[in-house]
Structures are given as C-alpha cells and as structure tokens.
Amino acid sequence: MADIKRSGGNGRRSLSAEYGGLLYTAGITTTNLEGDITEQTEDVLGVIDNILARHGIDKTRVISATITLADMEADYANFNGVWDLWVTDAYEPVRSVTGGALAIPEYKVKISVIAAL
C-alpha cells in the first residue's frame, strides 16, 4: 500500500496531501481580509500556484476545483473574471461552485483542488 505524504500540517489539518499520483489541497482562503472578491481570489489562486509548484507541477495539472463563495449573487461574476484569467485554455479543470458561509465573515472565497502529479 502506498504511503500518504502530507505537508503543511498544523495539528488540525494538512495544507496538502499526495496519494495515488494525486495532490489534494485543503480549502485555501486568503490572508487579505480587507480585500474584495477579486483581490481575495487572486490571493487564493496565488497560494494554490505556490502549493502546486512545491510539488513540481502547475495549474495545467489541476483536475478538479471545489469553490465556495460567501455571497454567490454578489461575487460570482467577479470571481469568474479572475478565474478565467487564471485558467489555461485547454486545461480547464472540472469545478463546482457553491454559495455558503465561510469560517470567518471577511472570507469571500475558499478553493480546494485535486491535481495530477
């Protein structure tokens, strides 16, 4: 049985885990609590880019993304504007976008991805 390789653990959760040729990330949120949806999405995608790079891959290897927006009605279009600039044509991951409460009221977006190593 293959070992699970975890990284970025803090006693509660790992930032990412590798298993079976796949990389899984935690739900990534921003540190920019003052930012609007555009700024927070750019920040979160930057963190995801960094996680992928630490594992020797990039966003073209992302298979799936799960996205939660705190205010779907207000932020969906602006989120998509940032997302569409980030995604590479012909490498678009499958994705699910839902609306829901996030852990801190200032959070506007949370994204987790699964990528092929």
CATH number at residue 112: 3.30.1330.40
Split into its structural domains, the chain has a count of 1
Residue 54 belongs to what domain range? 14-116
| Total-model pTM | 0.96
Residue 5 lies in a domain: no
The CA distance from 2 to 76, in Å, is: 39
* CA of residue 72 relative to chain centroid, distance: 17
Residue 102 lies in a domain: yes
pLDDT tens digit sequence for 46-72: 999 999 999 999 999 999 999 999 999
Residue 81 lies in a domain: yes
**Stretch (H or E) spanning 6:** strand 5-7
Residue 104: which residues within 8 A CB-CB, separation 6 or more?
A: 29, 33
- Assess whether pLDDT exceeds 90 at residue 116: yes
Residue 22 lies in a domain: yes
- Assess whether pLDDT exceeds 80 at residue 1: no
